[in-house]
A and B are shown apart, each in its own frame.
Chain A
Amino acid sequence: MQIEVRVQDLVKRYKDLVAIDHLDLEIQKGEIYGLLGPNGSGKTTLINCILSLLRYEKGEVEIFGEPMKPDAYHLKQNIGVVSQEPAVYDELSVYENIDYFCGLYVSDKAVRKKLVEEVIEFVQLGEFRKFRPKKLSGGLLRRLNLACGIAHKPRLIFLDEPTVAVDPQSRNRILEGIRQLRDEGSTIVYTTHYMEEVEFLCDRLSIMDRGKILITGTSDEIKAISRSGETVRVETFDLEETHLKALEALPSVESLEYGQAELVLKMKPKTSGLLDILNYFEHHDIPMTKISSKQPTLNDVFLEITGKELRDDV
């Protein structure tokens, strides 16, 4: 497998604060690679170090097999970046903005015109091409921001939380677009603290905290290491104490809580928890109004590893 980005023993400090702590990383060609972590975990700093925007104390960064430096223009030619904050000109229209940023990479006017039209269609901003950014909604502005970063069809794309404060419709459009970019051959590095986006998008992901990568793998691989199993919730009235004790004694049940007509059962990992509970209720003819099961999430894994939530804003 061809490696598009290789980071070795990277260290970045802000005075006494270690922002990136001896970090190693490899990103493979053609994958969507997710960097998941809470705010302040070092995701954006890592991206900026990879892009040589930031100076770092120690380590090596290679892109396309070559050392990445501020003046490595032949490498920059094939990189696209979509920042967290929209980086567009308020005075220029949607079309002009995309044409301007595309023109920093593509000098041939005819080629550029084609690329700009393609990306406008890709982000579905056709009817807004003459609008200025201030006239666009938050979601449309994010799509414009995305278009400006990818119009030149880069081989490697860095997307730094591109869906923050975006409406669900625009968010879905952006996520579908990112998958399409991957399918067309681009390698994508995607940073976010939205775990559901990572689960939906990423072929592989790393969970970061305090400048370190805690774990890397596919979403399923990471969830599989969780020490907790699924969570089963049952809405039922007047559950007797004897039933609670019997349920707790089941081999698949880790722990349970009952209150306000809701029974919450934490199951042991790799057990058929939901089935056991259903069988018990049926066998004892206990009425229930609702039952649901939730598999462990990346957040649960993160919580287990670090003791804190992935999304500190929820």
Chain B
Amino acid sequence: MFKHITKYKTLALVKDQASLFWTLFFPIVLVTVFYLAMSGLLSSDMYQFDPIAVAVVTEDAKQEDLEAFETFLDYVGVPGTPGEDDGPLQADADPEDAYIIYTKVDPDEARALLDKNQIYACVEVGETMTMTAKNARNSSNWRNGSVLHALLERYAQVKNTMSSIGKMAMTGAIRPDPDFGDKIRQAFESDAGLQEEDRGTKQGDVLIYFFALLGYLTIFPMSTTVLSVAEIEANQSPRAARSWLAPYPKWKRFFAEILPVVVLYSILNVIIYYYLGALGVGFGSQTGYILILLLLGTLTGIFMGTAVGSLFKGTPGIKTALGIGLPLAMGFFSGMMAAEIRKMIKDSVPFLHKINPVALVTEGLYSLYNYSTLDRYFEIVIRLSIFLVIAIVLTIIGLRRSNYESL
């Protein structure tokens, strides 16, 4: 009977042309419009990353801070010299892999360079780092500020860790491995996180929109499945009441009816992934992992819809509004409409970012594209799987009643 129900549910799904249009063509049209809107940014060189010109003031720095910061500078920057006729800071060596071009100056010189716009920012080295920038909120400078802030933050983290371990070793609280210092230094020098984060900033600013778009489209099936419970619960439609009276358990019927939806949306999201690829939007080479993430996201979207549909006792109109509105809101918070929102939510409301399934898919795609290791990806997959299990359990709780108070 499972096969029989699935067969006819598939047939009904395919023959319902209005819904099929909404299901198939809306995402494809959305992706196409998105691509056309973003293609200019993708092909332009505005996202080519140029090293950031920085003045470094070391006057008040302690020796240990200075040494640490110089090590840091060696690995992230190249020294430079102010250009002639108040021109911008010029690198003394090839800055190909550098994030910053720096010049060590006193505070007055730094201020002068800043006033003449020869540098982007001035960094004062000390126990705490101070960064001064002009027009930091200017849209063209915003990204430089973000990168520089990320670099300094990472530096501070590593330095603090080393300092704490050093203090504990001195008091005898711990006995570090003889090679521990080298290992920490090695970690600092080749800090993968630092490189990945900033590589992402350079290349992922436009792609993040597409990551969020794919994330949104995986959760989009919620708009369909939020009403599918009406086919299962006898108190929600005469058709469901007739099916309820059949000699077949409700939960089995539910899975038989939802299976074609799972297959349809999974295929659709794979098509959209390859369609974006055909349009020239690359998501990296880890196709297998990407498809697993998309499938997981699709399942989460489907069962979030059924959970809302079975637990929420609103009218079909309100349920439809929730089914359409929730994924859109999640997409918005994941940076689908404005990439800055993603950063803002991530920094200021991290909990919301962690429980937003669209954000999880977005972050998963981001990590696959930017990170060389899969640790972050698997962390996201586990989190999304937990979300999926919760959605299934909530659906089953909503569907568990065997008869009704009223029809």
**Residues of A near any B CB (own CB < 8 A):** 14, 48, 51-55, 70-71, 73-74, 76-77, 79, 81, 83-92, 96, 99-101, 103-105, 107, 148-149
Contact = CB atoms under 8 A, between A and B. Distances in A.
B12 A103 contact: no
A157 to B, nearest CB: 12
26 contacts: A53-B241, A53-B407, A55-B403, A70-B402, A73-B249, A76-B246, A81-B245, A83-B241, A83-B242, A87-B237, A87-B238, A87-B239, A89-B8, A89-B239, A90-B16, A91-B11, A91-B13, A91-B15, A91-B16, A100-B4, A101-B243, A103-B1, A104-B4, A104-B5, A104-B247, A107-B1
Contacts of A54: 403-407
Contact of B245 (A14, A51, A91): A51
Contacts of B5: 103-104
B234 interface: yes
A104 B8 CA distance: 11
A92 B403 contact: no
A105 B242 CA distance: 12
Contacts, number: 86
B245 A76 contact: yes
B399 to A, nearest CB: 13
Interface in B230-275: 234, 237-239, 241-249
A86 B1 contact: no
Given A54-B403, A55-B403, A96 B8 contact: yes
Given A52-B403, A55-B404, A79-B245, A104 B1 contact: yes
Given A87-B237, A99-B8, 19 more contacts: A14-B405, A48-B407, A51-B245, A53-B234, A53-B241, A53-B407, A55-B403, A74-B247, A76-B246, A84-B238, A85-B238, A86-B238, A88-B239, A89-B12, A89-B239, A91-B16, A92-B8, A92-B15, A149-B242
Contacts of B4: 100, 103-104, 107
A53 B8 contact: no
Nearest to A13: B405
Contacts of B238: 83-87
Contacts of A91: 11-13, 15-16
Interface in B349-407: 402-407
* A-B pairs, 8 with minimum CB distance: A104-B246, A87-B238, A73-B247, A70-B402, A91-B15, A76-B247, A87-B242, A91-B12
A129 B13 CA distance: 20
Contacts of A55: 403-405
A215 to B, nearest CB: 27
Interface in B123-176: none
Given A81-B242, A104-B246, A148-B242, A96 B11 contact: yes
A71 B250 CA distance: 9
Interface centre among A76, A89, A149 (most CB of B within 10 A): A89
A34 to B, nearest CB: 21
A90 B12 CA distance: 8
A212 B15 CA distance: 46
A14 B406 contact: yes
Contacts of A103: 1, 4-5, 8
Interface string B3-24: 0110010011101100000000
Interface centre among B1, B11, B242, B245 (most CB of A within 10 A): B245
B309 to A, nearest CB: 19
A107 B247 CA distance: 11
A92 B11 contact: yes
A71 B248 CA distance: 8
A192 to B, nearest CB: 18
B342 to A, nearest CB: 39
